[in-house]
Structure 1
């Protein structure tokens, strides 16, 4: 059986956020679907995670999916509320079946901004400096068709190779070593 692209995205997001579900109850956008996780029967009322999943992920933490997922332009954006450096962010998103969030329109920028504002912290974007200092591109090498640079940015002149989103939605070039909010797209 082949999964629709939308269902594939939903499953990838669910797996990405699984460790952060509270008491096995889907919240946020997942409640719109007729998806019910299997938790089995436990006499002591503890959660039972489906076979195999508990080996992949630690037991769920007490954190609802509300405020953790948004959609724009046919993409689903998600965060786990954690921070990491740029390379670790790229890897975490890849492991989850997505990629680091890279806005291609004002609507997608706003979807990422939602998390940045909610967690009141900056986030890396899937944009990096090209071989030409001061010029930026998507990680796949495609040129930027949409930008939202803060005034006088980018300013790193080759020393700041990554891009972060400020809490007002504008962008700044930044060194890649700081831990910022992980936001993925699916």
Structure 2
């Protein structure tokens, strides 16, 4: 039996991805109706109420994820398979109760790489350039103890303030306005 904390993480991720799958967009605090499934999510409805009201079990939600969840290093990583710019990615992950994926070690990097390869799309990581060109930090302000830069990166060319992951798992500094795979951590 998973711990209550792990269960809450899994439950939150399952709800986020199930909502994305069912409604075609990441969950958010709004009222949405979907005639295809005949469901309405009220703006103040909690995850627990949603699952209870529609008699969806966690097992059913997990089955519908279709390989859009993985775990490493005590974190759960999830994707909806959709893309967005860096700031929208940060917002969508926050709305889901998580944060943009930020690998702290090789195992977590591999967990994110799983999605990058599966969808064949680069993904933004939770890091930004500091005031010192070429020096990056995680979004929580902590210094990055783990990096996996591609050869010659970060190049610190102009406005490349964000970090993307290539399909080989290495990183590149990139402008923040490109659409990349949304990968969140919980």
Give 2:42's match in structure 1, choosing from 55, 60, 83.
55
Q: Which segments of 5 or more consecutive residues in structure 2 lack a partner in the other structure?
A: 23-35, 46-62
Which runs of structure 1 show a deviation greater than 6 angstroms over 4 or more consecutive aligned residues?
Answer: none
Q: Distance in 2 between the 1:15 and 1:176 partners?
A: 28
| Residue of structure 2 in register with 1:114 after alignment | 114
The two structures have a TM-score, normalised by structure 2, of 0.76
Q: Pairwise CA RMSD of aligned residues?
A: 2.1
Paired residue secondary structure (2:121)? coil
Paired residue secondary structure (1:137)? strand
Paired residue secondary structure (2:80)? strand
Residue 4 of structure 1: CA displacement?
A: 2.3
Q: Distance in 1 between the 2:6 and 2:142 partners?
A: 24
| Residue of structure 1 in register with 2:123 after alignment | 123
Question: Aligned pair 1:155/2:155, yes or no?
Answer: yes
| Residue of structure 1 in register with 2:33 after alignment | none
Q: Distance in 1 between the 2:78 and 2:129 partners?
A: 24
Contact 1:163 1:173 in 2 (8 A): yes
The two structures have a TM-score, normalised by structure 1, of 0.76
Q: Which segments of 5 or more consecutive residues in structure 1 lack a partner in the other structure?
A: 23-45, 58-62
1:1-186 correspondence runs (5 A): 4-21=4-21, 47=37, 49=39, 54-55=41-42, 64-186=64-186
Contact 1:129 1:137 in 2 (8 A): yes
Q: Distance in 1 between the 2:95 and 2:86 partners?
A: 14
Residue 150 of structure 1: CA displacement?
A: 0.1
Whichever of the two has the greater Rg, that structure is 1
Paired residue secondary structure (2:168)? coil
**CA distances 1:29-79 after superposition (whole Å, capped 9, x unpaired):** xxxxxxxxxxxxxxxxx8565xxx62359xxxxx94122000000100000
Q: Distance in 2 between the 1:128 and 1:68 partners?
A: 25
Q: Which moved more, 1:151-160 or 1:77-86?
A: 151-160
Paired residue secondary structure (1:164)? strand
Residue 21 of structure 1: CA displacement?
A: 4.4
Alignment length (residue pairs): 153
| Residue of structure 1 in register with 2:51 after alignment | none
